[in-house]
Amino acid sequence: MQRFVISPQQKRAEQIQLTREQQHYLYRVLRLQRGDRAIALDGEGTAWIVQLQEDSAVIIELLNVQTELPISVTLIAALPKGNIFDEVVRSATELGVTTILPTLSDRALLKPSPQKLERWRRIAKEAAEQSERQIVPTLLDPVSFNDALHLTAETRDRYLCVARGNPQHLLASLQNFTSHSLVIAIGPEGGWTSLEVDRAIASGFQTVSLGKRVLRAATAPLAALSLIAAVLESYSNSQEY
């Protein structure tokens, strides 16, 4: 069944008022017709099966699906050059990320335009629909690396991926994981500067490795989030935990 995300004010009792864009998407792009069913998501964890009317949709039933990770996962990602971040936002969303915090590192100082932020939020929304999530990840406004450290200071389990040196592998570090939220930080092309690594460690981060090969800035967040999601989901499914 096709999926679309609504905002809270669109829902009144059992009726959802469709925006012009949603009508275009549902009737023109997806070629659905009046009377067809679809899934409406509020982007915060609730989903309904709805029946399409002309410019509204009637809620048929609450949907009981759960494709979200059991804990909150925040990705701190240094903004890379070019359009790589589109792909990072899309695949991080597919892999279950809760919050994305873009960061201006010493090696990646470019501040994105409001249009870019808008674009990334749209990509997150589309990817949440396509990967059948209940929650649309939050993409925060970019902050400095120092601010990213401060903003996540409350979280005990914070990991900084580094390309060099010989820290423990992220997968091994995740075996000791105990709390209800997790922060993973991925550097820009060329890696974090040693000053940034030192600051992160002083702030309570644990440095981890993603393996022996050098990953691109586009691949590293996926590799890290794949491991995090797998550990969280294969443990919660298994009887050994």
Contact flag: residue 94 with a copy of itself (CB under 8 A): yes
Length of the chain: 241
- Binding string to a copy of itself for residues 156 to 185, with x set by CB under 8 A, is what? ------------xxxxx-------------
Contact flag: residue 216 with a copy of itself (CB under 8 A): yes
Contact flag: residue 97 with a copy of itself (CB under 8 A): no
Beta-bridged to residue 57, according to DSSP, are 16, 52
Contact flag: residue 49 with a copy of itself (CB under 8 A): no
Nearer CB in complex with a copy of itself: 80/142: 80
- Binding string to a copy of itself for residues 133 to 152, with x set by CB under 8 A, is what? x-------------------
Question: Are 3 and 132 in contact, with CB atoms under 8 Å apart?
Answer: yes
* Measured distance CA(195)–CA(75) in Å, rounded: 20
Provide the minimum distance between the beta carbon of 113 and a copy of itself in the complex, in angstroms, as a whole number.
25
* Measured distance CA(212)–CA(14) in Å, rounded: 54
* Measured distance CA(155)–CA(151) in Å, rounded: 9
Provide the minimum distance between the beta carbon of 136 and a copy of itself in the complex, in angstroms, as a whole number.
13
Contact flag: residue 213 with a copy of itself (CB under 8 A): yes
Stretch that binds a copy of itself, among 44-52, 56-64, 87-95, 99-107 (CB under 8 A): 87-95
Question: Are 71 and 47 in contact, with CB atoms under 8 Å apart?
Answer: no
- 197 C-beta neighbours (distance < 10 Å), count: 18
Question: Radius of gyration (Cα) for the chain, nearest Å?
Answer: 20
Nearer CB in complex with a copy of itself: 121/169: 169
- Binding string to a copy of itself for residues 2 to 41, with x set by CB under 8 A, is what? ----------------------------------------
Phi, psi dihedral angles at 122 (to 5 degrees): -70, -40
The stretches of 3-144 forming alpha helices (DSSP H) are 20-23, 84-94, 114-130
Contact flag: residue 219 with a copy of itself (CB under 8 A): yes
Provide the minimum distance between the beta carbon of 34 and a copy of itself in the complex, in angstroms, as a whole number.
27
Classify 43 in phi/psi space as left (phi over 0), alpha (psi -120 to 50) or beta. Answer: left
- 31 C-beta neighbours (distance < 10 Å), count: 9
Positions touching a copy of itself (CB under 8 A) are 66-68, 90-91, 94-96, 130-133, 168-172, 210-216, 218-219, 222-223, 226-227, 229-231, 233-234, 237-238
